[in-house]
Amino acid sequence: MKNKINKQQLILEFVSVVFAVILALVLNGWRESSALNANLVKVEKSILKEVQRNDSLIRQSHTYRGDLLQKLYSNQNLLLAVSTSDLDFDVNNNSKLVDFFKTALLFGQKEYHTVQVVQEGGDRVLILDNSVFDLKLEAGTLQVLGLGNVELKIPDLNNQSWDLAKATGTITEMDIALVEKLGTVNALIETYLKTSESAVQLVYSGAQKGLMPVLEDLYNLESKIMKANSQLLEELD
């Protein structure tokens, strides 16, 4: 009889231990799931805030860059304007203009290796080393127009949501469509930032060659980012 009671107690204790272990595992899994869900909500809110901010900045930049490119395409980018009354020589004298531009420091350089003013029919162009600019005389003002003194106005974009989603593990819980769209935006911004670095280097070097293509690349990337942002925002709604 005593052995029978001991067996019953052992079975009861065994069942209790197994139940406790299972319950602990279930509770632990529930806590982990709850924590992951809470993180997922936080991360998605962070993504939404970041995308909305980036989208506002990129749209402003896109408008500015479009206007800048239009000025450059139509050769309306004014680099220098000097009233002829402030000059002590005849601006129709090309050799005098050459002497003037040797010391004008148009782009902050101390000197140019090559300075020329060339007459092309009724138009004149200014050559400074490897760069070429248009010279115009309008309403008593000597103007220099062309590609130069470009203000890039690169937007300060944040691109941390992708890394945050991976670091917290929430990326595995996200809808696949959201992950794909977030990845697309992340890749485009990475490309945009690298292209921006190239543009900055070209502007600081004062080189004309290669600047227009990189400005066009920035403009086109901004268009793609805006489109990708719109798709991502739709997914987050």
The pLDDT score that the predictor gives to residue 24 is 47
The pLDDT score that the predictor gives to residue 127 is 87
Of 40, 31, 34, which is closest to residue 170 (Cα–Cα)?
40
136-151 burial code (b ≥16 CB/10 A, e <16): eeeeeebbbbbbbebe
Contacts for 104 with CB less than 8 Å, ≥ 6 apart = 80
Three-state secondary structure of 182-233: HHHHHHHHHHHHHHHHHHHHHHHHCCCCCHHHHHHHHHHHHHHHHHHHHHHH
Tens digit of pLDDT at every position of the chain (237 positions): 545 556 666 555 555 555 445 544 544 444 445 445 667 788 888 889 999 999 999 999 999 999 999 988 888 888 888 899 999 989 889 999 988 888 776 666 557 788 899 987 788 988 888 888 899 988 999 998 888 778 899 999 998 888 888 888 888 878 888 889 999 999 999 999 999 999 998 887 777 778 899 999 999 999 999 999 999 999 887
Cα 27 off chain centre by: 45
Whether CATH 1.20.1440 fits 40-72+152-236: yes
Boundaries of CATH 1.20.1440 in the chain? 40-72+152-236
DSSP-derived letter for residue 89 is S
The pLDDT score that the predictor gives to residue 65 is 95
pTM above 0.85, yes or no: no
Tokens of 139: 């309403």
**Residue 113, helix vs strand vs coil:** coil
Tokens of 82: 């000097």
